Chains A and B, each alone.
Chain A
Amino acid sequence: MFLDFVEGPLWYVAAAVFLVGVAWRLAAIARAGLKDDLSVPRTPGTTGAVATVFRRFLPHREFMRPAAFQMVAGYAFHIGLFVLVLFAAPHVEFIEQRILGFGWTPAPHWVFLLAANFAFAGLLLLWLRRMLDPVLRRISTPDDHIGTGLTFVVMFTGCMALFESHDFLRALHMLFVDLLLIYFPFSRLMHAFTFIFSRGFTGATMARKGVSA
């Protein structure tokens, strides 16, 4: 009953809120508008935009050391999460049956465990830093903690539901997934989409000036 609800009506509501909400947030960026830059560019802004979207996946050579913690913990979390979301066997099955109508080969169990370890370690390290580092304490908002907390709970319940031994565990996981999807468009989790815009805008401006940003 509970499982039917979280995988039925609540899932549809969550998915709809997520899709409409994300679209609304992206439209808000477009609606804000941007005046044409009338200065004469040195190199085209569009290629600079694309280049910076990719270039910022790594820090500047000179900035590797200060960024080392965030880079290692950040990549551990994001890659781990990416593998979990898209390649965990139950997820592939869910995506095939409920979303896309087709699936792909899921990751073997040991890959899942490795990814989960990375994702948990990365998330907890980043969260710990957020709570201990004076700079992060100064700039963090409740949203940062809610987003991190929800992600953690989703991952944790997901691991509990891994063996699908009990419908309740699967339903619990699904409940938090639904909540995360509903929360997503109203939160900083939006960076998963908007980073393309922010990197792109900066890359375009800097490329016009002749600087690789």
Chain B
Amino acid sequence: MSERFEQGVAALRRQMDARIVSYFSSCVHCGLCAEACLFYTETGDPKYTPIHKLEPMRKLWRQEYTFWGRLGVKLGLADPLTEQDLADWESLVYDSCTLCGRCSMVCPVGNDIAYMIRKEREGMVAAGYAPDGMKEATRRALEIGSPMGVTLKTLQATLKGVERNTGLTIPVDVQGAEYMTLFSSMEVVNFPEYIESIARIFAAAGVSWTISSEAFEATNSGIQIGDSKAAGELVGRVVSAAEKLGVQYVISPECGHAFTAIRWEGANLIGRPLPFKVIHILELLEQLKEAGRLKLEGQTDIRLTFHDPCQIVRRGGVVEQPRQLLREVAPGFVEMRDHGVMNWCCGGGGGVSANERADPLRLQAFQRKKKQLDELGVETMVTACANCRIILEEGIEHYGMDVQVTGLTELLAEHLAGSAKS
């Protein structure tokens, strides 16, 4: 038994909390979770059944928490968990699960399967069985501060462009600002229009905000790969920057897992309550609108739909805000058949987009979103996650579809009173 494997088993053992033990005790192998998973529905391959992806962890639970398992292993009648199991399951655990949590919504005995996979990944990564793309992203996040290698200089260059386009001064390291904003690397590199949009909206709404030059990255590769130590380190950087600036709120951007990382796992990762409140940009925009500080004008007559980012909506609880905001500017907003907390994932969450090996499978799974869009016949899809956006655009291009994707904050900025384009 290799030392690395032992570390993996030890890490897996540490994940066996009351939730995990109750989940394994309750599972009756009904198979319903398969029907909730786009990797199963779009391939028809039973190996993608969500609970099957937990076989290594189930084996450990069985051999340590059940009578027959203990007896079986002692008598040599049952197979114990082996390193080969982890090797065999690596692609199932990482390539075919986006941690979207749709399966967790349908399990009759209430198992939160996404939580179980998140925990199982802790053991996988400790044993060295994680995709290279995700390992690299995590390394870059820890060493450079961004999974995509975005540095402060890159941000500064982007901010210069934002200032040029908006005519506004972007506040950096402003002591005592009310809000500190984070961005995903994807926004800094691919979608600076998001930064422009919040700069315009915040200026119009009189929001006191700042960016920290020490911690501006919102994404957290640690929670995707399943490395709590790395995840805690990354959250810790944001916490210390926010403490230094004395802000009251930290704004999580249009990025799904970034919100989960800081809003729901953040305090638990650093082991103490966060010294500030975390708010998602869509929550803040909705609050500003309700308070009459975000004034919108003009409406688009385009028929459009909203793609729910799983970690913001189903796993994050920001369900109604995007809809209320959209209805303000888009009377032609229509819902996909399964939406809100029962939406279908884009296929690239949970680190799958950072895992090149998974690309063909991800594109196959995208057929689910394609079916949803074909059924609706819309040509514009709004979303609120830069990663979803990239994945959706790739899928749309791959299947030669005629659908435009845009960010919700960006759409709202276009309808800001006084600067509306339509």
Contact = CB atoms under 8 A, between A and B. Distances in A.
Given A66-B32, A139-B29, A213 B46 contact: no
Contacts of B40: 135
Contact of A201 (B18, B29, B46, B319): B18
B28 A191 contact: yes
A200 B23 CA distance: 11
A86 B124 CA distance: 46
Interface in A165-211: 185-186, 188, 190-191, 194-195, 197-203, 205-206, 208-211
B21 A32 contact: yes
Contacts of B316: 209
Nearest to A203: B110
B115 interface: yes
Contacts of A199: 109-110
Contacts of B405: none
Interface stretch (A3-11, A38-46, A97-105, A110-118): A38-46
Nearest to B30: A70
A63 B34 CA distance: 12
B28 A144 contact: yes
B49 interface: yes
A211 B317 contact: yes
Listed residue (B32, B115, B273, B278) with the most chain A CB atoms within 10 angstroms of its CB: B32
Interface in A105-145: 130, 133-141, 143-144
Contact of A29 (B22, B27, B105, B318): B22
A198 B26 contact: yes
Interface residues of A, number: 58
B25 A25 contact: yes
Contact of B264 (A35, A137, A200, A209): A209
Nearest to B54: A139
Contacts of A201: 18-19, 22-23, 110, 112
Interface of B: 16-23, 25-32, 34-36, 40, 46-47, 49, 51-52, 65-68, 104-112, 115, 263-268, 271-274, 277-278, 314-319, 337-338, 341-342
22 contacts: A34-B18, A35-B268, A38-B271, A38-B273, A39-B265, A59-B106, A60-B106, A62-B342, A67-B108, A135-B46, A137-B46, A139-B29, A139-B49, A186-B67, A186-B68, A190-B25, A190-B26, A191-B28, A198-B19, A198-B107, A201-B22, A203-B110
Question: 7 tightest A-B contacts by CB?
Answer: A199-B110, A210-B317, A38-B267, A66-B35, A197-B22, A209-B317, A198-B26
Interface of A: 25, 28-30, 32-35, 37-40, 42, 52-53, 56, 59-60, 62-63, 66-67, 70, 74, 130, 133-141, 143-144, 185-186, 188, 190-191, 194-195, 197-203, 205-206, 208-213
